[in-house]
Every structure is written in structure tokens, then in C-alpha cells.
Structure 1
Amino acid sequence: MNANIESIKKEFNTNILEISTSHNETYLTVKKEVIVKMCDYIYHHLDLPLVCIFATDERKKDCSFKNHYVFSDDRDDAFIILRINIDEKNPKYLSITNKVAAANWYEREIQDMFGLIPLGHPDPRRLMNFEDWPSGLHPLRKDFDIKTKPPRVDGEYIYRRVEGEGVYEIPVGPVHAGVIEPGHFRFSVAGEPIINLEIRHFYTHKGVEKLFENIPIHKGVFLAERISGDNSVAHAAAFCQAMEKITGVNIPPRAKHIRTILLELERIYNHIADIAGIATDVAFSFGAAHANKLKEEVMQLNERITGSRLLRGMNTIGGVRRDIGDKKDEILLTLSIIQRDFRKLMEHLNSTPSLMDRIETTGRIYNDIAKGLHVVGPVGRASGIDRDTRRDHPYAAYNEFNFKVPVLKAGDVHARTMVRADEVCESVGLIEQALWSLPEGDIMMMVNEIPEGQALGYCEAPRGETIYWIRTSGNMIERCKVRDPSFCNWLSIEYAVLDNIVPDFPIINKSLSLSYSGNDM
């Protein structure tokens, strides 16, 4: 048994009610009164990050709800999932946010979606259900009909106020110029420096997790692809991997290689687009135009080999839908040219003093903040967090290839730019390895019946660690928890902007590459 599990058993033996293991996931049902102490022990003593918290409505089974606390054991490619029972007649539990800051939004989400109250939470305001949403209606409870159209009620959201001589508030959004989705940013400034930022999102919450429970399983992949459009492959792959665990399907080696290629193509065009956005926001038009040209070339390649610029429609439960082996020479040639031009672009960007002056030391997220909030992906790695799901929890064909995980410590816009630049080159290398070693054989295993079960699916999307937890019953999805990387990373912007000036906010925001759509599910 995993050494960390043994340590937990030794420390909390009498408080553990049940232990079960499935794949690389160990579930420990524990007494709810010790959940704070156990999470504190796992997080601080065992040094395992909290990657997700979610609830399930199991009142039909045993008159209770259940909270699940998912910790990642990166060293052993394992997940430890604590589970507590919460009586439907007393839907309250102890908040762990004061011990593990990353729990903040999860607990508020569960309060809104399930009506479970986190006692002692430092900020118990609503998160997803806005003030005009009636009290007592919780959308992810099983007795809430997806067709419900609730009446609107009066209410007011109370923002945090920073007061003092010379302090001014600057509200931005939720409606913005351009085509981006809505989000509210409330700055407090004293002179030019920002001394506080409070964000508010979920204006376009789509009810995705409820939708998963009300559609046929075979349509789940298409819904996953549409959660965050520019991360379509990553979401679909994570969904499929969870379902493949449940069904016991080991997809063909050729399909694993093709998935890896698709995931890295998605990473390449996303990272180049982010670098283009940073150049745009510092008014470096030449660099922005060149980067956008390279991004377009990658997306045109995507369309030529799959029929979709966003690489949609390729993943399916059991493998991939179409082969791309006949496009090998075209992919290799195109990427070699793009990589050559991209390296020249980065040399030019790094040698332009006016650009470097804007991005060096700007928007710093220090390592302790990044770790405390569980900041993921390139943003976390730019702040010294050495985590990458491709390496720590290998999936697809990643365990067959050699690649480096770029990690920097500065935590500023420049560090985030350079991590992405290094990852573009690593992605090209991964695609080359996958194409040169592409196995012969099938690309899909047929899956007809979905058994009852539960499993985690995970993927290192361009923005970072993406997680799905799925439970199936009666050939339907009973519960699907989706955690996009932006749900972890949005709060970091409140720290990144401190002591910076308001005109630098767009650069900081772009360097974090945060998704409204992936967050507002």
C-alpha cells in the first residue's frame, strides 16, 4: 500500500470508517468532525496538494450528501480522496479553508450548488448563485429539475471595501470592450499603485455538470469539448480517460500516440497565442503580428489534418475517431518551419528593451501564494511549482517519451512568457517523437455498455491541470465533476496585481491566460 496511506492510517486509524482502492485512486471515508485535521495533515505534513473538492447527492442511497477531498500524490502517481458523510437534515460541515487556502472557492461552490454550509469559512458569500437567485434552490441536488426556471428575487452582493485617505475604487466590467466574456474587477488604488483587487465571475454559468447528468453518455465527449473552446482536446481527453477507467478499456497504442500529438498541437497554438496577446498589450505590434501569424499556421495545420481548427471531434471513448498517420510528413515539415520562426521571434522579443521593461518584475506571484492557491500550469511553473500532469500522472503515450518540464522562479510576466516559449519547443519535440514511433494497429476500441463505476480523468491542458471525476450508473452519468485550471488560477490575479499600476493589469491578465468559459461552468 502507498506509504502516505499507511501514514494516514497510523495517524487517524480510529477515524477512518472505510478504505477502498480503484486504479490509482484510494478512497477513505472518514468521520466528518476530523476532516480539518486530516486535510491539514495531508497538506502540510505529507506535502500533497489539494487538487479538487466536490460533493455528491446520495440521499436516495443513505439520506446523506458526501464531500470528496482529492489530494495528488505526484511521487507515486496516485490520488488520495477523503470522503465525509453529511446528513441531509443537518447539511453542515467544517470548512478547511483556514488551513488549506485552495479550498476557498470549492466550498463556496458546494454551498451554492448543494446547499451544504461550510462552518467557519472566512468568506461565506455566494459564489455562483447570484443575489437574484432564490434561497433554498440548489441546482446540483438530484431533486432539482434541469428545466426549472426560478423566479428572480431582490438581493445585493457586498464587496470588500478598502477605505482611507486618497483611496479610490475603479470598477471594471462585467461588460468589456471586445468579444471576451463577462467578469467584474474592482480595483482599490492609492495614487497609481493597486492596493486591492476583488474579482467576481460566474455571470454566464452554464450548468455544465447538470447537463452531463441529462444527456446520453456518447454525447458527453462533445459537451466536454465545448466547456473551454481553445482547450477542447484536453477536456475531451480527460473525460474519455475517466470513462475508459470505468469501462476497463486500454486504448490501442496508436490511439495513445495520436492523442498525444493532438494535445501538444493544442498546447502550441495556445501558448503562441498567449505570447501574441502579451505583445499586443504592451503595444509591440511587430511581435504580436508575427506571433499571430505563427498561431494561424498551427491552426491551419490542425484543420488540414483533422478537419477542425480547434481539433474537435477527434477524441472518443476508447481511442480516437480518425487516423492522422498519413499526414506525418506534412506535420513534421510544418512544425519544423514554425519552430524555427518561433525561436527567431523569441530572440527578438527578449532583445527588445521596451518590451522587457514592461514584463520583467511585473505581476509577480510568489511561490508561497502560488502553492497556497494551488496555481497550476505554466503560471504555477513560472512561480517555482514543479508539477506537470503529463509527467506526474502519465496518460496517453507520455510515459514513452522524453521531455523537460520548464520551471522558473521569478513569477512575473516574463517568467510566464518564457515557460510557455520553452514548452512550445518541448511540444514540437514530443510530436516528433510520437510520429517517428507511431505504432501500427487500430485507433479505437469499441465500447458498447458502460458499467457502474467511478474514476478520475486528468490532463495537462495548455492552462494546466484539468480534472474530471465521473460516476456512472444504469448506462448514464450520475455525477460529473469538472475542474478547469482557470478555477484554480483566477484568484491568483488578486495577488499578481498588487503594487502594480492599473495600466499593467491587461498584461498581467493576459500572461495568466485565464478562461471565463472554463471557469463559469
Structure 2
Amino acid sequence: MNLIPSLLPVFDELQQRFEGQLQRVDASQPDELHLHAPLELASALCSTLYRKSGGRLVSVFAEDGRAGGAGFYVYYLYAVDAAHGFVLVRVVVPAERPELISLTNAVHAVNWQEREIQDLFGLKLVGHPNPRRCVLHDDWPEVFPLRKDFDLQTQLPPFSGERHKFREVAGEGVFQVPVGPVHAGVIEPGHFLFSVAGEPVLYLQLRMFYVHKGTEKLFESLPITHGVRLAESISGDSAFAHATAFCHAIERAAGVAAPPRGRALRTLCLELERISNHVADIGAICTDVAFVTAQMHALRLKEQVLRWNEQLTGNRLLRGMACLGGVRFDFDSAQLDALAAFVDTLEQQFKDLVELIRSHSGTRDRLETTGVLAPAVARDLGIVGIAGRASGIDHDLRRDCPTDFYDQVQFTVPVFTEGDVQRRMVVRREELFQSLGIIRQVLAKMPGGAIATPVGDVPADRIALGYVEGWRGEIFHWVHTAPGNRLARCKIKDPSLQNWPALSEAILGNIIPDFPVVNKSFNLSYSGTDR
């Protein structure tokens, strides 16, 4: 397949730099450049793509290819935002020497992802600054669940090994405060250990993956058509975004595209999902600084959006709406007209909420300069989505690599450089207004026709990438198809996996009582991280 013109200079640069050492293979889309490379070139390729092409390493993952005699495959996925495309590099790690040179010292953004590979595939990381277990906790037995010879039905013995030991932070007047892993309310577990001297936080250690669900392994055991429902369960508040990213990947592997009306309806649902979560987060941030009145108004607006979701799709969280090839349910003209009227009403009521928050000087005082994530730190950690845009990272897949109906609408991506809680809330506020505008444009341009294209059986041994700019940030689903309309591998990248380390940086110098509002300003998904 021919590359889009903007990716040709990237390919030419790589060919000149690594003459004769790279093999280009067919990709499912013209905005993707797929390359096979020797293992020893992984670091040099990363350096070239970063420095010469402005690429960013958004995902690193592995696949067990030993059945075919090749060993393990490791993939490096780069987003080249200026070129509106992606570069996927595959290297082979020999089965007889399962070692991988770590890139974490150069690209801090891949720290947890490389450690996932070590935990789940048993590839030893060479040169990693902290090669401790990440996904599988310390008391797990020596198993590698994503290898093909690991049976999903395996009954593991009771865990009896040594529990995770946090790093000790010593010094006069320094003490440690544990929070979690079990929290009040209904959120999932995560362990936060604060090291403080007096009131300021000196250091925060995170421990996630308490409810690792083996989702990527489960994809290998299901027919492709059942995968949509599994994708919806990855992170409940992003059910439609994850399901749509999965559908994109399968559709590209099958060589089909959703019809225009189906793409437009997907866009409406993605924006409704964004609106309901953004308004809820704005209210929750206000709650954490004791402005409960604003929270009540925000919850009222969220409830209105959820009720509209249910009226349109039959589910408040839009589950059951996405399907391979498009969407399951159409909206008739009366529903579309009513949705347009609701958007006008919601906009005015949200403006009233914004003015209420602006008029409360105590709220602004608590939020400004609290939980600052500096732009340089955000870039080093590869922070995405809301948190990234509040810290000067101008990335949004809806604009940079548009799918569905996003190439038919105009909108502005709000970006700030202060990186504090106030700006993370303002990013949500401005994105919500932009979402209302996107919905209006989609309604005005709503095409007719079918809402879904039959996908049929997906050919085996196809590789494809699906992606969506979810409300938290970018979501990736990468698939490798197998015979019998099944998957050999499905890699899931939720934005929360990328963004948790930012919390440890943003809380430094703040006091523990500010942690709830700093944490809520990121509002990361335990489930999306643990998978």
C-alpha cells in the first residue's frame, strides 16, 4: 500500500540512515509505515525517529512467535503527529536468548511498558534502571501468562512469596504515610506511599495492578465478534472509546470501513462519552476543595447526559452500541432534532456552572499552582490527553490522525503550559464546549444510508492498528489475527498506563491534603491500567 505523502520523508530518512537493514512490509492503512529491523537497531531507530522525524514512542509490546520458529517479537509503535501517521517497528528476540535492551534511560515513557514485557513474556531487560516486577506482583510464581504455552485455565497455587517492598526514604523528620491499596468508596485498589518531612511531600511511590484481569490473554480465547464486548469492559467510563478502537483495528485487518452514517454516529457517541466524564470530573474537583454546590450542579448535568445516552442507545454508558463495521442502532430524525435541542440547553446550563465556579475565589486559590506538572517532565514521561494538554503537549488524535467523522468537523484543541490542577480543569471545560460544537456539526452534516458494513470472517495473519482519542487521552488496540476468525494477539494501550507516573511528579512539594484534588485532576483508570 502506498504511504501518505507526509510519511515519505520519514521513510526516506530511515532508509538513508539504515541502508539495507530495514524491511518494509505491507500495512493495513496508508498512514502506517511497518518495518522489520534487526534487534540491535532498536535504540538507533528510536533516536532517529525522535530527533529527525519528531516521533514519539507511544507503545512497546511483545508477541510470542516461537511456534513459527522465530522467537519473540517486540514492537515499537511511534506516532509522528506532524506527518499524521505512525511507524511500527518489529524486532525479533531469539528464544534461546530472551533478552531485550531497555530504552527507558533514553525514553522514560516506556518504563512500565518494558517491565510489562518482562513480567508477561519473560524477556529479561538489560540496562533498565528499575527492572522490578510491575504487572505481576512480587509474590506471583514464576509464570509468563502471555506466552502461548501458558494455558488460560491454569490454576495457580496460593501465593506465598515475598510481598512488594517499597523503597525506604530516610532522613531526619522524614516519615511515610501509606494510602490504600483499599480505598473508601467503590474505586479499585492502588497503593500510594507518601514520604513527607513535615507537611510537604518529598516522594510518592505507586503500586498498581492489584486487579490484573488478563484481558489481553482473554482476547486470544474468544471469536473476534465477541471481542467488542470484552473491549467495553476494559475501563467502564471509556466503554465506547475502547470498543471503537477495537472495531477500528478489526475493520482494518478485514479491509472494510464503516459507512459514513455509522462513522458519524460513532463520533456523536464518543463526544457524549467525553462530555459526561468531563462535567463529572469538574464537579469532583470542586468537591475535593469543599465546593459541594458546584458538584451538585455538575452531577445534575452528568445525569442529563447519561439519560440521553440511554434514550439513544439503551445504555447509560453506551455499552452495546459499538459493533464491527459501524454501530448497532440508528437515531431517527426526531431523536437527532431532540439531541440538537438538548445540546443548546446543556451548553447554557454548563455556562452557568462555569460562572458559578469562576465566582468562587476560594476554589481558584486552591487549584492554581497546585499539583504542577512541568511541560519538560510531561514530555519526558510521554503524558497524553487532558494532563498532557494542560502541560503544553499539543497532541489530539481527533485532529492529528482523524478517524470516523472527525475529518468533517472543525474544533480547537485547548493547550496550556502551567500544568496545575486549575489548567487540567480548564482543559476539560474548553473541551466540553468544543464537544458541543462537534456534535452540532455532525448533526448538520449527518449522512444517510447504512449504519454498519458486514465484516465477515477476518483473514488470518493480518496486523492492524486501531486508535481513538478517548476522553482521558489516546487509546490504542493492536491486533494480529489467527485462523478461525480469532486473534493471535491483542495489545491494549489505555492512556492511564502512560499517565500514572505523572502523579508522582505533580504531588512533589504539595501537602498530603491536596492529594485528593491532584489525583482527581488526572482521574486515571485503575481498570484500564491493570487490564
Point out where structure 2 has 5 or more consecutive residues left out of the alignment.
none
Give the SS at the match of 1:15. coil
| Contact kept? 2:326, 2:452, Cα under 8 Å | yes
Give 1:469's aligned residue.
Answer: 478
- After TM superposition, the structure 1 = structure 2 runs for residues 230-379 of structure 1, keeping only pairs within 5 Å, are 230-326=237-333, 327-379=335-387
Q: What is aligned with 1:75?
A: 82
1:409 corresponding residue in structure 2: 417
Contact 1:382–1:412 (Cα < 8 Å) also in 2: yes
Residue 454 of structure 1: aligned partner:
463
Q: Which moved more, 1:25-34 or 1:273-282?
A: 25-34
CA contact (8 A) 2:28 2:255 kept: no
Paired AA for residue 249 in structure 1: V
Q: 1:442 offset after TM fit, Å?
A: 0.6
CA offsets, 1:380-404, max 9 Å, x none?
0011111001011110000011111
| In structure 1, C-alpha distance between the alignment counterparts of 2:13 and 2:359, rounded to whole Å | 51
For the pair 1:512 / 2:512, whether they are aligned, the reply is no
1:502 alignment partner in structure 2: 512
Tell me the equivalent position of 2:163.
Answer: 156
In the TM superposition, residue 251 of structure 1 has moved relative to its aligned partner by: 1.2
Residue 310 of structure 1: SS of its match in structure 2? coil
Structure 1 residue 117 and structure 2 residue 124: aligned?
yes
What RMSD, in angstroms, separates the aligned Cα atoms of the two structures?
A: 1.1
Is the 1:17–1:31 contact (alpha carbons within 8 Å) kept by the matching residues of 2?
A: no
Structure 1 counterpart of 2:218, one-letter code? L
- Asked whether the equivalents of residues 275 and 435 of structure 2 are also in contact (C-alpha less than 8 Å), the reply is yes
The separation in 2 between residues aligned to 1:156 and 1:15, in whole angstroms, is 45
How many angstroms does 1:76 deviate by? 2.1
Deviation at 1:246, TM superposition (A): 0.8
Report the CA distance between 1:17 and its aligned residue. Answer: 4.7
In 2: Cα distance, 1:126 partner to 1:471 partner: 26
> What is the letter of the counterpart of residue 486 of structure 1?
S
For residues 15-94 of structure 1, the aligned pairs below 5 Å read 15-23=21-29, 24-94=31-101
Verify the 8 A CA contact 2:336 2:443 in the aligned structure 1. yes
**TM-score, normalization by structure 1:** 0.98
Would the aligned equivalents of 2:191 and 2:207 in 1 still touch at CA under 8 Å? Answer: yes
**Contact 1:182–1:201 (8 Å) recurs in 2:** yes
Deviation at 1:30, TM superposition (A): 1.4
Q: Is the 8 A contact 1:91 1:117 kept in 2?
A: yes
1:121 is aligned with what amino acid? H
Task: Give the Å deviation of 1:3.
Answer: 0.8
Whether the aligned pair in 1 keeps the contact of 2:64 and 2:147 (CA below 8 Å) is yes
Q: Structure 1 residue 18: deviation in Å?
A: 5.0
Aligned position for 1:142? 148
For 2:97 and 2:303, locate their aligned partners in 1 and report how far apart those are by CA, in whole Å. 54
In structure 1, C-alpha distance between the alignment counterparts of 2:198 and 2:20, rounded to whole Å: 57
User: Which residue of structure 1 lines up, in the alignment, with residue 9 of structure 2?
Assistant: 3
Q: Which residue type is aligned with residue 171 of structure 2?
A: G
Alpha-carbon distance in 1 for matches of 2:54, 2:207: 30
Q: Note the C-alpha offset of 1:13.
A: 1.9
CA–CA separation in structure 1 for the residues paired with 2:59 and 2:232? 20
Q: Tell me how far apart the structure 1 counterparts of residues 196 and 479 of structure 2 sit (CA, whole Å).
A: 44
How far, CA to CA, are the matches of 1:28 and 1:73 in structure 2? 15
Secondary structure of residue in 2 paired with 1:13: coil
User: Tell me, what secondary structure is at the counterpart of 1:479?
Assistant: strand
Q: CA deviation at 1:19?
A: 4.5
DSSP 3-state at the match of 1:242: helix
Cα distance in structure 2, aligned partners of 1:250 and 1:16:
30
**Cα distance in 2 between the residues matched to 1:255 and 1:98:** 44
**AA partner of residue 471 (structure 2):** P
* Superposed displacement of residue 437, structure 1: 1.1
* Structure 1 range deviating more: 398-407 or 14-23: 14-23
Mapped partners of 1:36, 1:87: distance in 2: 17
SS at 2:193 equivalent: strand
Q: How does 1:428-443 map to 2 (within 5 A)?
A: 428-443=436-451
Separation of aligned partners in 2, 1:410 and 1:132? 41
**C-alpha contact (below 8 Å) 1:18/1:30 kept by paired residues:** no
Deviations 1:438-495 (A, max 9, x none): 1111111112211121100000000000000011121111100000010011110000
Contact 2:28–2:253 at 8 Å: present in 1 too? no
Tell me which amino acid in the other structure corresponds to 1:422. E
State the AA in 1 paired with 2:454: M
What secondary structure is seen at the aligned counterpart in 2 of 1:466? strand
Give the TM-score normalised by structure 2: 0.96
Q: Counterpart of 1:180? A: 187
- 1:175 Cα deviation from its structure 2 partner: 0.7
Q: Which residue of 1 aligns with 2:176?
A: 169
One-letter amino acid matched to 1:44: R
SS in 1 for 2:19: helix
The share of aligned pairs that are identical, in percent, is: 47
1:131–1:153 Cα contact (<8 Å) kept: no
Give the letter aligned to residue 337 of structure 1.
Answer: T
C-alpha distance in 1 between matches for 2:343 and 2:23: 53
1:117-166 deviations in Å (ceiling 9; x for gaps)? 1100000000011122112x100000000001112231232322221111
